[in-house]
């Protein structure tokens, strides 16, 4: 299921930011709402409480290291490539670090179509800001409902029913507000946390129905899964950011598609679904967070030095995946799953010559280096390079 998110990000490169980005964000929100709520409910069921400290700490270990690294690297690259916008991008970085980027870009009137000439290389942090704002409050509501259920000694079914009711009310209220704000102020509706919470709420509502989805007939799973994929693909083709109606009603299309795919995969993966049931899709799903963080700065910053062409697309894709692989294997995973005792043990093994690098780590390092090298080669081989290097020789330019 997580592969859906990264496939939508890849579509951002292939289809273009306006459509691919719009759809990808909607899919991200639904998947995130489902996974986080399901994790919170599973953790609360045996203990009778939601561990807020542990959840927020785990969330910080999952989100912050790679995000901080991307913010620092993007700002440093902007000093060289966009010196006249360094101050603005620095402020964008601070708002992104505080998970308030969506309000920053809404107040700025940022272009939601992501025009490369004017877009901030950190503009893609606004969905992450909405997520973290949502997860600052949503666990508190789950804690309150769970505490009430424990105090009254109510059953598990009633507990899930109350959570489903809370999710449904939140989703309905946010969707109603999104509908109103899309008609009155579509720009604010695009960035507004309250106008986007319904997409996360749909994922949360799905998490309360896990018990029902596990009893789904085997023959129904592939039908729902392929129907969901079809809706997401249709979204890429049908949504036109310039025609209005976003986030409501157009976001309903990818949200419904993501919901169908998630429901079809609860309990057991659907048969006859090679698109999502393979090792490549699983790895892309693991890579999705790092790829999401690096892909937009690469597009914007690379766009300052290259003309948009097939060379630009190839260079951006290779560099994005190369950096994402490096961030995932050497930053995100070690800091998320590692511990101080593991570091001490590794140092002790090195001292005695017993430390061995895993094969997967070696492969990741080679893959990252190869992709980054391919990006550099593509950048150097672009047709406009010679024109930029010799602007005073008109005979070398192609006249159309």
Cα 68 to Cα 228: distance, rounded to the nearest angstrom:
34
Using CA atoms, how far apart are residues 397 and 327, in angstroms rounded to an integer? Answer: 40
Low-confidence ranges of the chain (pLDDT < 50): 13-15, 17, 391-400
**pLDDT given for residue 134 in this prediction:** 97
pLDDT of residue 354: 58
Length of the chain: 400
Write down the pLDDT at residue 200: 97
The per-residue pLDDT for 382 is 83
Identify the residue whose tokens are 């691919």.
20
pLDDT of 361: 84
| Single pTM value for the model | 0.89
* Torsion angle, alpha carbons of 97, 102, 108, 109, to 10: 150
Report the pLDDT value the prediction gives residue 90, as an integer from 0 to 100. Answer: 97
- How much is the pLDDT for 344? 63
316 vs 310: CA distance, rounded Å: 10
Cis peptide, bond prior to residue 15, ω within 30 of zero: no
**The predicted structure's pLDDT at residue 399:** 34
Q: In this predicted structure, what is the pLDDT of residue 279? A: 80
Cα separations in angstroms, 186 against 24, 151, 181: 19, 44, 6
Dihedral angle sign, alpha carbons of residues 23, 28, 31, 34: negative
- What pLDDT, on a 0 to 100 scale, did the predictor assign at position 392? 45
Q: What is the DSSP letter of 243?
A: G
């Amino acid at each position: 299921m997580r592969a859906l998110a990264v496939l939508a990000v890849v579509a951002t490169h292939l289809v273009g930011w306006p459509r691919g980005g719009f759809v990808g964000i909607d899919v991200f929100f639904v998947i995130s709402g489902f996974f986080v709520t399901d994790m919170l409910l599973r953790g609360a069921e045996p203990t009778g409480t939601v561990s807020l400290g542990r959840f927020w700490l785990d969330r910080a270990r999952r989100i912050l290291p790679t995000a901080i690294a991307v913010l620092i690297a993007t700002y440093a690259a902007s000093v060289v490539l966009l010196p006249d916008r360094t101050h603005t991008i620095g402020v964008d970085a601070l708002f992104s670090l505080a998970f308030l980027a969506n309000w920053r870009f809404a107040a700025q009137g940022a272009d939601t179509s992501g025009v490369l000439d004017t877009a901030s290389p950190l503009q893609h942090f606004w969905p992450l800001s909405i997520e973290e704002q949502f997860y600052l409050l949503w666990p508190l509501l789950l804690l309150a409902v769970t505490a009430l259920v424990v105090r009254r000694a109510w059953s598990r079914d009633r507990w899930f029913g109350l959570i489903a009711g809370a999710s449904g009310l939140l989703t309905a209220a946010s969707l109603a507000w999104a509908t109103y704000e899309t008609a009155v102020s579509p720009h604010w509706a695009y960035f507004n946390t309250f106008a986007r919470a319904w997409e996360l709420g749909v994922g949360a509502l799905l998490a309360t129905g896990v018990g029902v989805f596990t009893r789904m007939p085997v023959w129904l799973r592939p039908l729902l899964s392929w129907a969901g994929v079809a809706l997401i693909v249709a979204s890429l083709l049908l949504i036109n950011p310039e025609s209005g109606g976003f986030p409501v009603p157009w976001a309903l299309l990818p949200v419904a598609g993501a919901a169908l795919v998630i429901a079809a995969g609860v309990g057991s993966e659907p048969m006859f679904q090679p698109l999502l049931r393979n090792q490549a899709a699983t790895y892309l799903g693991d890579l999705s967070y790092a790829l999401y963080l690096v892909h937009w700065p690469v597009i914007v910053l690379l766009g300052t030095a290259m003309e948009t062409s097939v060379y630009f697309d190839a260079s951006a894709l290779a560099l994005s995946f190369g950096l994402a692989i490096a961030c995932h294997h050497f930053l995100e995973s070690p800091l998320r799953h590692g511990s101080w005792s593991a570091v001490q043990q590794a140092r002790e093994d090195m001292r005695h010559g017993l430390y061995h690098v895993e094969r997967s780590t070696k492969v990741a390092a080679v893959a990252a280096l190869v992709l980054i090298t391919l990006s550099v080669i593509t950048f150097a081989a672009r047709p406009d390079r010679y024109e930029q290097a010799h602007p005073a020789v008109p005979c070398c330019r192609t006249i159309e």
